[in-house]
Structure 1
Amino acid sequence: MSITADASARSHHHPRPDWKTRVRNSVGSYVALTKPRVIELLLVTTIPAMLLAQRGLPSPLLVLTTLVGGIMAAGSANALNCVADADIDAVMKRTKARPLATHSVPKRNALIFGVLLGLGSFGWFFATTNLLAAVLAVATILFYVFVYTLVLKRRTAQNIIWGGAAGCMPVVIGWAAVTGTVEWPAFVMFGVIFFWTPPHTWALAMKFSDDYKAAGVPMLPAVAEPAYVTRQIVIFTWLMVAWSLLLVPAAGWLYLAAAVVAGVWFAVLTHRLHGQVRRGEKANPMRLFHMSNTYLMLVFVALAVDSAIGLPVLNWPWTW
C-alpha cells in the first residue's frame, strides 16, 4: 500500500471531527481548566454567608453577581494552578486527563485565559458590588497561585493547612459584597472551612498517596505514616467542630443543632478511620472524603435557613 493510500485509510477510520465537535471539545477543555467541581464549594458557602450578612434575603441580583464574580475568580486561580502544576498533573493518575496534561489547551493560552478571568473578576466585582469584594477576590487568586501553588505545595507537608486558606475566602467575599465590610462572623465561617480543609484533602490524598510520591509533592499522606495522618485528621476535625460553635451567637437554633449533630457525626467517622488504620484493618478514606462534603453542605445550609427565617440563639447587643 502506498503512503498516500495508507494515510487515506487512516483518515477513513479516524475522520477529523466537524467544527461543531471541535468547538465543543475546545470549550470543554477551557471549562475543565477552571475545575468546576472545586468551584462547588463557592456555591455551598457564599450564599449562606450573604444571607447571614444580610440577616435575611439579599437582593437576588446581588447574589447572582457575587456568584458570577466568585466563579470567575475561582476559575482564574484554578486555571493558573493548572499552568503551574502542568508537570505534576502529567505524572499523577488522578490528574493526567487535565487539559494541559493532555495538551488539549496550549500552556500559553491557559495562562492568558487565567489572567483574563482574574482581571475580569476584579472588574466585575468592582462594577456590581464594591471595591473591597474586588480586592479580596484578586488577593485570593494571588495567594492561591503564588503562596500555595508556587511556594508551599512542593516544599512542605503543611502545604494544604496554610494554602487551603484560599478556599476559605468565598465566605469573606460574600460578606463583603453585602456589607462592604468584613466582620467577625465572616472570620468564624472562614475558620470552619480552614479547619475542614485538611481532613477533607488528606482523606483524598491517602487514596492517591502514590501519585503524590511519584510527583514529588510532600502532601502529608505521602510523607507520613497513615496512623499519624489519621490522628491529624481527628485533631483538625475536633478543632473544626469547636470553632463552628463560635458562630452560634450570630446564628440560630437550627444552625446550633446542625453544627453539633453533623460535627459529632463527622468526628465519629474520623475516629473510626483512625482506629481502622491503627489496627491494620482495611480502611476507606474516600468515604470520609465524600462525607466531608456532606458535612459542609449540612452546616452551611442550616446556616442559610437560620439566617433567612430564624432567630439568634443569643441576641447579644454586640452581635448585631
Structure 2
Amino acid sequence: MVSATVVAPGPAPIRPSVQLPAWLEVAKPRLIPLLLATTLGGMALSGGGSLSARTIACTLVGGSLASAAAGVLNCLWEQDLDGRMQRTSRRALPSGRLAQRQAFALAIGLTLLSVVVLVFGVNPLAASLSLLGLCSYVLLYTALLKPRTSQNIVIGGVAGAIPPLVGAAAATGALGWSSWWLFCLVMLWTPAHFWALALLLKDDYRSVGIPMLPVVKGVLVTTRAISHYAWATVAFSLLGVLALPSGGLLYGLMVLPFNARLLQLSSQLRRDSENPQRAKAMFRWSIFYLFGICLLLLLARLPQAALLGPELLNVQRAMLPTLVG
C-alpha cells in the first residue's frame, strides 16, 4: 500500500525510488518491520515467563513470510489498477517484470511455509491468527472494502492489527485482554496513519476511482478525521499502563512525548490542510510513533523498569517548578 515514490504536485518523494528484484518487490518488504514490531509488542504484553530464542525467531520468520505472501496476493489482485496509475505502473506485475503464474506460485509457497514454521515452531493458534491476518488483508481490505467505501481502512485495518495477537499467542498460547488492547490501539492508529498518506496520493486514487476519504469527502474532512483518530490513539495508548504486567509506570512516563508530538502534528495538519509537507510529516511520525510504542512495551518489561519508573517520576516532579517558572 506504500509505494516507492509519491507523485503529487508539491511534495517530495516519501522515500527514494529504488527498484527491487521483482520477486522481492511484490512481497512489499518495507511493510514487514512495523508488523514485526507490533508482534514483539504483543509478546511483551504477555505475563508469561521468558521466551526461548527459537520461539521468537519462528514467530518473526513465520510472520514475515505471511506478510510477504499477503503482499504478493495484493499485487496480483491490483495489477490492473496498478497499471493505470503513473505511480505504480512500473511495478513488477503491470510492467511485465514478473509473470502472474510466478507471483501466484510465490504467494502459495510463502503461505505454506509460513503455516509450517508457525505450527511446528510456535503453536497452531499463532499460525491460525497469522493466516487470518493474511486473508483479512487480501479479501476483506483489498478485494471487498478498498474499492467500495471511504471507510475501507477503518474496517480493513484489522489486518494490520492482528500481529500483536500473534505475538501474544506465541508467548502464552492464549489471548489476554492486554493483547486485545494493543490490537485496538493499532486499529485506532491506522486511519490517521493511512489517511495522511492518502492526502499525498489523492490524485492517483481519484484517477482510478478508488474512494479514499480525501477523494470522497475532501481534504478538510480528512484532516479533521485524522485529528480525531490521533486523539483517540493518544487516549487509548495510556491504557498501556494497566495492560503491562510490570513496568507500566515507566511506559506511562515515556509515552507522553510520543503522544504530544502526534497531537502536535495532527493539529498542524488540520490548520494547514493544503500543505503536503504537513501530511508527509504526520505520515512519517505515525510510523515512528508505533515503533516507539512497541519499543516502550519491550523496555517496560526489563527487570530494571520497576525501579527506573519511580526515579523518572521524581525527576519529573523536580523539573516541574522550573518548567512552570
- How would you bin the TM-score normalised by the shorter chain? 0.7 to 0.9
Q: Which residue of 1 aligns with 2:182?
A: 189
Gap regions ≥5 residues in structure 2: 1-18, 310-325
Q: Is the 8 A contact 2:74 2:138 kept in 1?
A: yes
Relative to structure 2, which stretch is displaced further, 257-266 or 163-172?
A: 257-266
Give the conservation status (yes or no) of the 8 Å contact 1:57–1:308. no
Shift of 1:43: 2.5
The AA in structure 2 aligned to 1:129 is: V
Q: Is the 8 A contact 1:258 1:299 kept in 2?
A: no
CA contact (8 A) 1:29 1:99 kept: yes
Question: Structure 1 length as normaliser, TM-score?
Answer: 0.85
Find the partner of 2:123 among 112, 130, 137.
Answer: 130
* Structure 1 residue 243, shift from structure 2 partner: 1.2
In the alignment, structure 1 residue 235 sits paired with structure 2 residue 231: no
TM-score (norm 2): 0.83
Asked whether the equivalents of residues 39 and 167 of structure 2 are also in contact (C-alpha less than 8 Å), the reply is yes
Conserved in 2, the CA contact under 8 Å of 1:140 and 1:166?
Answer: yes
Equivalent pair of 1:126/1:133 in contact (CA under 8 Å): yes
Q: Of the candidates 56, 71, 77, which is equivalent to residue 70 of structure 2? A: 77
Cα distance in 2 for residues equivalent to 1:42 and 1:97: 26
- Distance in 2, matches of 1:54 and 1:219, equals 39
d(CA) in 1 for partners of 2:50 and 2:91?
A: 38
Aligned equivalents of 2:67 and 2:190: distance in 1?
16
Q: Alpha-carbon deviation of 1:299? A: 1.5
Q: Measure how far apart 1:268 and its partner are.
A: 1.4
Task: Give the CA deviation at 1:264.
Answer: 2.2
The within-5 A match list for 1:285-300 is 285-300=279-294
* Structure 1 position 271 matched with structure 2 position 267: yes
C-alpha separation in 2, matches of 1:108 and 1:69? 23
Alignment of 1:253-264 (within 5 A): 253-264=249-260
Larger Rg belongs to: 1
- State the shift of 1:48 in Å: 2.6
The equivalences for 1:293-308 within 5 A come to: 293-308=287-302
Distance 1:195 1:132 in 2: 24
C-alpha separation between the residues in 2 aligned to 1:170 and 1:296? 13
- Once the two structures are TM-superposed, the CA of residue 161 in structure 1 deviates from its matched residue by 0.8
Say which SS state the counterpart of residue 238 (structure 2) adopts.
helix
**After TM superposition, what 4+ stretches of structure 1 lie above 3 angstroms from structure 2?**
54-57, 280-283
| Number of residue-to-residue matches in the alignment | 287
Q: Which whole-Å CA distance do the structure 1 matches of 2:276 and 2:57 have between them?
A: 45
Residue 99 (structure 2) pairs with residue 106 (structure 1): yes
Superposed CA RMSD: 2.1
2: CA distance, partners of 1:56 / 1:290: 34
Counterpart CA distance in 2 for 1:121 and 1:302 is 28
Select the residue among 141, 149, 155 that pairs with 1:156.
149
| Cα distance in structure 2, aligned partners of 1:111 and 1:273 | 40
What is the identity, as a one-letter code, of the residue corresponding to 2:306?
L
Percent identity between the two aligned chains? 35
Q: Assess, with a 3 A threshold, how the Cα gap between structure 1 residues 288 and 282 changes in structure 2: closer, same or farther.
A: closer
| Cα contact 2:154–2:190 (8 A) shared by 1 | yes
Pick from 33, 41, 46 the counterpart of residue 39 of structure 2. Answer: 46
Q: Name the structure with the higher helix share.
A: 1
Contact 1:55 1:307 in 2 (8 A): no
**CA–CA distance in structure 1, aligned partners of residues 291 and 130 of structure 2:** 22
Change (3 A) 1:36 1:282: closer
Q: 1:134 to 1:281 in 2, by over 3 A?
A: closer
Deviation at 1:192, TM superposition (A): 1.2
Q: How far off its partner does 1:283 sit?
A: 5.1
Matched residue type, 1:243: F
Q: Is the 8 A contact 1:126 1:134 kept in 2?
A: yes
Output the CA distance in 2 between the equivalents of 1:184 and 1:141: 23
Q: Could you tell me which amino acid in structure 2 is paired with residue 71 of structure 1?
A: S
One-letter amino acid matched to 2:61: V
For structure 1, which runs of at least 5 residues remain unmatched after alignment? 1-25, 314-320
Q: 1:56 to 1:155 in 2, by over 3 A?
A: same
Match of 2:26 in 1: 33
Note if 1:198 corresponds to 2:191.
yes
2:204 corresponds to? 211
Task: For 1:127, give the aligned amino acid.
Answer: F
